[in-house]
């Protein structure tokens, strides 16, 4: 455990993140730590090193935790492409709830909870001025409302409790809205539009 933890810390330091003395709420397993180390090594943050270094230890630890928690990591897909997958799962959940299909609702919700992570992680896709501890402090709440919420939704759907599943879907929708309002801007804007 100690050696594996040092492995992750070394990997993150190598990235310029400077994560030291991580206080984990729940200690991840040795195998997980090894995987986390490999993942963080791959997360390239070109041109963002200073910004990444300046992040608080809490945010750095959160980013490592998310990288460990997700089992699907893409080498090619961008955040926008991953968002298209998230939208597809979100829509499948809505269809399943509306048609009382607990199996589909729970499958799609578990897939949403363990959505793919884009190439390089999330930070390279955010506006540079938003890569601060203050702005990123929104992320843990987003994880709770969307990823933990999706598991709650799956459990309700498995019990056939579509009312609770529908409520959770409403909360998840609020998470999409909040995060987009903060980080996304207006997609596809054109400089050729009249002012
Ligand atoms: C952690 C923040 C965050 C959360 C939570 C989030 N998104 Fe996104 N989403 C983004 C960002 C940032 C972009 C812009 C990415 C880009 O353009 O590179 C985006 C873009 C998208 C896009 C691409 C098209 C567009 O309109 O920009 C879709 C579709 C999308 N999100 C769907 C969803 C859905 C559905 C949910 C909720 C289940 C969700 N997102 C939750 C941050 C988030």
Q: Which helix (DSSP H) or strand (DSSP E) does residue 1 occupy? A: none
Residue having the nearest C-alpha atom to atom 28 of ligand 1: 83
**Whole-number pLDDT of residue 3:** 43
**Whole-number pLDDT of residue 31:** 77
Residue 48 lies in a domain: yes
103 and 125 inside one domain: yes
46 and 134 inside one domain: no
Calculated CA dihedral for residues 55, 57, 62, 64, nearest 10 degrees: 90
Q: What is the pLDDT of residues 45-92, one digit of tens each?
A: 666 667 777 889 999 889 889 999 999 999 999 999 999 999 999 999
Q: Which residue has the tokens 């001025």?
A: 129
What domain range is 37 assigned to? 1-69
Q: What is the pLDDT of residues 118-141, one digit of tens each?
A: 998 999 899 989 999 999 999 999
Q: How far is the CA of 27 from the centre of ligand 1 (A)?
A: 30
169 and 92 inside one domain: yes
**Whole-number pLDDT of residue 49:** 67
Q: What is the pLDDT of residues 13-28, one digit of tens each?
A: 334 444 433 444 566 6
**Whole-number pLDDT of residue 54:** 86
Rounded Cα distance, 7 and 5, in Å: 5
CB-based contacts of 111: which residues, under 8 Å, 6+ apart?
89
Q: How far is the CA of 91 from the centre of ligand 1 (A)?
A: 14
Q: How far is the CA of 167 from the centre of ligand 1 (A)?
A: 21
The residue among 47, 69, 91 that closes a domain is: 69
Ligand 1 atom nearest to CA at 185: 14
**CA angle (37 as vertex; 20, 182 as ends), nearest 5:** 75
**Whole-number pLDDT of residue 9:** 41
The answer to whether the CB of 8 falls within 8 A of the CB of 40 is: yes
Q: Which of 38-42, 70-74, 153-157, 163-167 has the lowest mean pLDDT?
A: 38-42
38 and 103 inside one domain: no
Residues whose beta carbon lies within 6 Å of some atom of ligand 1: 79-80, 83-84, 86-87, 90, 125-126, 139, 142, 146, 172, 175-176, 179-180, 183-184, 187
Q: What is the pLDDT of residues 169-186, one digit of tens each?
A: 999 999 999 999 999 999
**Whole-number pLDDT of residue 111:** 98
**Residue with the larger pLDDT of the pair 194 and 183:** 183
Written as six digits, the tokens of 40 are 């963080």
Q: How far is the CA of 118 from the centre of ligand 1 (A)?
A: 12
Structural domains counted in the chain: 2
Q: What is the mean pLDDT of residues 35-49?
A: 66
Cα dist from 192 to 7, 184, 185, 195, whole Å: 49, 20, 17, 9
DSSP per-residue string spanning 139-187: HHHHIIIIIIHHHHHHHHHHTT-HHHHHHHHHHHHHHHHHHHHHHT--T
**Whole-number pLDDT of residue 10:** 38
Ligand 1 atom nearest to CA at 183: 12
**Whole-number pLDDT of residue 92:** 98
158 and 128 inside one domain: yes
**Whole-number pLDDT of residue 113:** 97
Residue 177 lies in a domain: yes
């Amino acid at each position: 455990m100690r050696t594996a933890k040092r492995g992750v810390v070394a990997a993150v330091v190598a990235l310029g993140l400077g994560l030291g003395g991580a206080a984990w709420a729940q200690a991840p397993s040795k195998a997980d730590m090894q995987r986390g180390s490999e993942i963080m090594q791959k997360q390239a943050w070109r041109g963002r090193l200073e910004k990444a270094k300046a992040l608080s230890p809490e945010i750095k630890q959160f980013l490592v935790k998310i990288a460990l928690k997700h089992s699907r990591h893409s080498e090619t897909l961008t955040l926008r492409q991953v968002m298209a997958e998230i939208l597809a799962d979100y829509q499948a959940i809505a269809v399943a709830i509306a048609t009382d299909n607990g199996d589909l609702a729970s499958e799609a919700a578990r897939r949403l909870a363990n959505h793919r992570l884009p190439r390089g992680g999330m930070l390279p896709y955010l506006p540079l001025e938003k890569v601060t501890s203050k702005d990123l402090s929104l992320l843990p709440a987003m994880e709770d409302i969307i990823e933990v919420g999706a598991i709650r939704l799956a459990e309700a759907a498995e019990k056939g409790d579509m009312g609770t599943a529908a409520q959770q879907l409403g909360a998840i929708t609020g998470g999409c809205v909040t995060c987009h309002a903060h980080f996304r801007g207006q997609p596809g804007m054109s400089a050729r539009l009249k002012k």
